[in-house]
């Protein structure tokens, strides 16, 4: 791929930021370099990979696993992983890969196909068909083995709701019901943040997917027309979703913009605001309670007594009445690995039944293996699993295109402009439309 002088300078600087990048890896057949994210409360993957490293080295004489934890928020993780992949001296043999990045990273030449390996892997039959689709490239080849999936909904504090005079259980039917509940909390409990919806550029995909797309897919519009293979512009649903963000942040129903734009806000939500009763409603993911388990980074034994969940309603209560978004992460093989068989052995070991079950329980993930989903230890591990699994019927997935990452960034730009009052929803939507046309060309767009 073409590299600019700036990119090469960043590669050198980025490599210095990554622990354990001194040797081995894709240029060394005796060392398997594994790159992955470790950030804030998200340490369960680090624990799993250390266990797999020990087991792998015990069964593979002469081979060493070099773990490279990238301590960065999600967008920065993608950037640093890309920097690693651009240099043969730092490229990983195995990497923790978001499903929405697979197609763009295949296009960039970073990933190796895995079809020949799964053809001889008995465990592959245990993976659900829709989960298998998440790891495909545009060429139809398989590039990532799924670790788990997720859904998103409204978490709410039952004790705060009772204090504010709100009903428990809470069953909002429209966006206005959500905003009205937040307004009631604001009036009754002035020291409590009524509602958190991730927004703005620092939150990256958490804002675009978990905030904006949770709203947009509850309207009558969509982000991308899969049948026409075109991005949607001029969408009223896009404007309405931005208006919801404006109502939250310009209406004093959420954190301050300064709090919301802190790159650590997701950690603050999970580890501080919710356990301390400082936040009433959080639009967040199925994994959230993993932080509060005994094995989590912020154990909160009372979480299931205090917190409850409600589906995110569609805008006006239209069918199907609720909406969700799903994603997930995979383990993928670097295209430059000198020992692909050993890299595959590491992936297969990390994602066997026992390790997948341990990871899914620790991270409150929806299982992608049928033998894990049916395992009594898994089903009994978390009281929220049943609720979040039920949202699979109304869930949506991000557009599986190589240009999605650029579009996602433009969504966060529009959100930040609205939340900070720099633009109206209409102005921000128009700027987004212009940016999308600049990215994909007018012929790849259509009016909503």
What's the mean pLDDT in 248-256? 97
Q: How far, rounded to the nearest angstrom, does the alpha carbon of residue 101 sit from its chain's CA centroid?
A: 11
Residue 175 included in any domain: yes
> Is 406 inside a domain boundary?
yes
- Hey, which bits of 139-220 come out as E strands? 144-149, 152-157, 193-196
Q: Is 43 exposed, middle or buried (0-12, 13-18, 19+ CB in 10 A)?
A: middle
Contacts of 88 (CB under 8 A, 6+ apart): 26, 27, 336
Q: Is the pLDDT of residue 21 over 60?
A: no
pLDDT of 308 over the 70 cut: yes
The verdict on residue 162 lying in a domain is: yes
Residue 166 near residue 378 (C-beta atoms within 8 A): no
Per-residue pLDDT at 421: 97
Is the predicted pLDDT of residue 10 greater than 50, yes or no?
Answer: no
- CATH number of the domain at 283, please: 3.40.190.10
Give 173's Cβ-side CA count (13 Å radius): 3
Same domain, 135 and 160: no
The tens digit of pLDDT for each residue in 367-392 reads 999 999 999 999 999 999 999 999 98
- Count structural domains, the chain: 2
Say yes or no to pLDDT of 136 above 90: yes
The conformation of residue 359, written as its DSSP 8-state character, comes to H
Q: Which domain holds residue 356?
A: 28-149+327-390
- Segments of 166-311 assigned E as strands: 193-196, 224-225, 230-233, 279-285, 307-310
pLDDT over 90 percentage in the chain: 84
Say yes or no: 157 and 87 in one domain.
Answer: no
Question: What angle, rounded to 10 degrees, do the helices at 353-362 and 44-59 form?
Answer: 160
Quickly state the pLDDT bin for 400 (edges 50, 70, 90).
Answer: confident
Regarding whether 298 and 178 lie in a shared domain, the answer is: yes
Residues 338 and 29 sit within 8 Å (Cβ to Cβ): yes
Where do the DSSP E strands lie in 132-183?
Answer: 144-149, 152-157
Do 416 and 443 fall into the same domain?
yes
Q: Which residue has the tokens 């129903």?
A: 253
Domain boundary among 347, 367, 390: 390
Q: How many other C-beta atoms lie within 10 A of the C-beta of residue 299?
A: 12
Q: Looking at the DSSP assignment, which residues form a beta bridge with residue 111?
A: 334
| Mean pLDDT, rounded, for 264-283 | 97
Reported as a single tens digit per residue, the pLDDT across 322-379 is: 999 998 899 999 999 999 999 999 999 999 999 999 999 988 899 999 999 999 999 9
The token pair that represents 83 in the structure block: 């920097």
pTM over cut 0.85 = no
Measured CA to CA, the distance from residue 8 to residue 2 in angstroms comes to 10
pLDDT for residue 28: 83
**Within this chain, do residues 289 and 336 fall inside the same structural domain, yes or no?**
no
What are 186-217's pLDDT values in tens digits?
999 999 999 999 999 999 999 999 999 999 99
More confident call, 425 vs 2: 425
**Range from 4-8, 236-240, 315-319, 352-356 carrying the lowest mean pLDDT:** 4-8
Give the residues across from 328 on adjacent strands. Answer: 149
Which tokens belong to 250? 């310009």
Q: Give domain status of residue 260, yes or no.
A: yes
Q: At residue 139, does pLDDT exceed 50?
A: yes
Q: Please list the residues that pair with 330 across neighbouring strands.
A: 97, 146
Please tell me whether residues 122 and 226 are part of one structural domain: no
Nearest to 410 by CA among 220, 204, 232: 204
Say how far apart CA 210 and CA 207 lie, in whole Å: 6
- pLDDT tens for residues 40-76? 767 789 999 999 999 999 999 999 999 999 998 877 8
Count the Cβ atoms, other than its own, within 10 Å of residue 438: 11
The number of C-alpha atoms within 13 Å of 433 and in the hemisphere containing its C-beta is 18
Whole-number pLDDT of residue 20: 40
Q: CA of 395: how far to CAs of 23, 41, 224, 320, in Å?
A: 43, 26, 15, 10
pLDDT band at 416 (very low <50, low <70, confident <90, very high): very high
Q: And the tokens for 156?
A: 């709410």
Whole-angstrom distance, CA of residue 35 vs CA of residue 45: 11
pLDDT of residue 402: 85
pLDDT of residue 25: 53
Q: Give residue 267's pLDDT.
A: 93
Mean of per-residue pLDDT scores for the chain: 92
pLDDT at 73: 81
What is the Cα–Cα distance from 275 to 186, expressed in whole angstroms? 19
1 within some domain: no
Are residues 281 and 173 part of one domain?
Answer: yes
> Is residue 1 over pLDDT 60?
no
Peptide bond into 169 cis (omega under 30): yes
Residue 2 lies in a domain: no
Q: Are residues 347 and 257 in the same domain?
A: no
Does one domain contain both 176 and 228?
yes
One domain, residues 142 and 159 = no
Domain for residue 11, yes or no? no
Are 413 and 277 part of one and the same domain?
A: yes
Predicted confidence (pLDDT) at residue 257 exceeds the cutoff of 70? yes
pLDDT of residue 27: 58
Question: What residues contact residue 140 under an 8 Å CB cut-off, 6+ apart?
Answer: none
Mean pLDDT score, 298-310:
97
Buried b (16+ CB within 10 A) or exposed e, 386-407: ebbbebeebbbbbbbbbbbbeb
Same domain, 87 and 215: no
**pLDDT in the model for residue 81:** 97
The last residue of a domain, from among 390, 412, 436: 390
**Residue 352 within a domain:** yes
Q: Which two tokens stand for residue 413?
A: 């730009």
Residue 16 has pLDDT above 70, yes or no: no
Of the residues 390, 412, 434, the one at which a domain ends = 390
């Amino acid at each position: 791929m073409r590299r600019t002088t700036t990119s090469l300078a960043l590669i050198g600087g980025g490599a210095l930021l990554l622990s354990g990048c001194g040797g081995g890896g894709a240029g060394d057949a005796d060392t398997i370099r594994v790159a992955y994210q470790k950030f804030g409360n998200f340490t369960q993957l680090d624990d799993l990979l250390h266990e797999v490293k020990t087991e792998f080295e015990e069964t593979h004489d002469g081979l060493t696993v070099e773990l490279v934890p990238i301590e960065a928020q999600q967008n920065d993780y993608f950037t640093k992983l890309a920097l690693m992949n651009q240099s043969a001296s730092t490229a990983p043999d195995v990497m923790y890969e978001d499903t929405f990045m697979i197609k763009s990273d295949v296009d960039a030449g970073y990933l190796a196909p895995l079809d020949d390996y799964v053809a001889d892997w008995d465990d592959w039959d245990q993976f659900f068909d829709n989960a298998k689709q998440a790891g495909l490239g545009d060429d139809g080849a398989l590039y990532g083995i799924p670790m788990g999936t997720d859904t998103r909904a409204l978490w709410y504090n039952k004790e705060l709701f009772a204090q504010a005079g709100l009903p428990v259980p809470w069953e909002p039917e429209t966006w206005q019901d959500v905003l009205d509940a937040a307004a009631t909390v604001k009036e009754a409990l002035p020291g409590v943040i009524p509602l958190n919806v991730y927004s703005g550029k620092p939150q990256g995909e958490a804002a675009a997917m978990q905030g904006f797309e949770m709203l947009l897919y509850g309207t009558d519009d969509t982000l991308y027309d899969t049948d026409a293979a075109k991005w949607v512009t001029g969408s009223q649903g896009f404007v309405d979703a931005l208006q919801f963000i404006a109502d939250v942040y310009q209406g004093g129903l959420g954190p301050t913009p300064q709090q919301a734009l802190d790159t650590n806000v997701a950690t603050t939500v999970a580890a501080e605001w919710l356990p301390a009763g400082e936040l009433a409603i959080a639009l967040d993911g199925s994994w959230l309670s993993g932080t509060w388990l005994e094995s989590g980074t912020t154990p909160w034994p009372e979480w299931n007594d205090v917190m409850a969940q409600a589906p995110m309603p569609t805008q006006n209560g239209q069918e199907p009445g609720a909406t969700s978004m799903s994603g997930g992460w995979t383990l993928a093989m670097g295209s430059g690995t000198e020992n692909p068989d050993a890299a595959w052995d590491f992936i297969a070991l990390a994602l066997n039944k026992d390790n997948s079950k341990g990871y899914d329980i620790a991270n409150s993930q929806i299982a992608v293996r049928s033998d894990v989903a049916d395992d009594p230890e898994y089903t009994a591990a978390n009281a929220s699993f049943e609720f979040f699994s039920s949202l699979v019927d109304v869930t949506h997935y991000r557009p599986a295109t190589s240009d999605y990452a650029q579009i996602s960034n433009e969504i966060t730009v529009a959100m930040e402009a609205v939340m900070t009052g720099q633009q109206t929803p209409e102005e921000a939507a128009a700027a987004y439309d212009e940016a999308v046309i600049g990215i994909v060309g007018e012929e790849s767009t259509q009016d909503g």
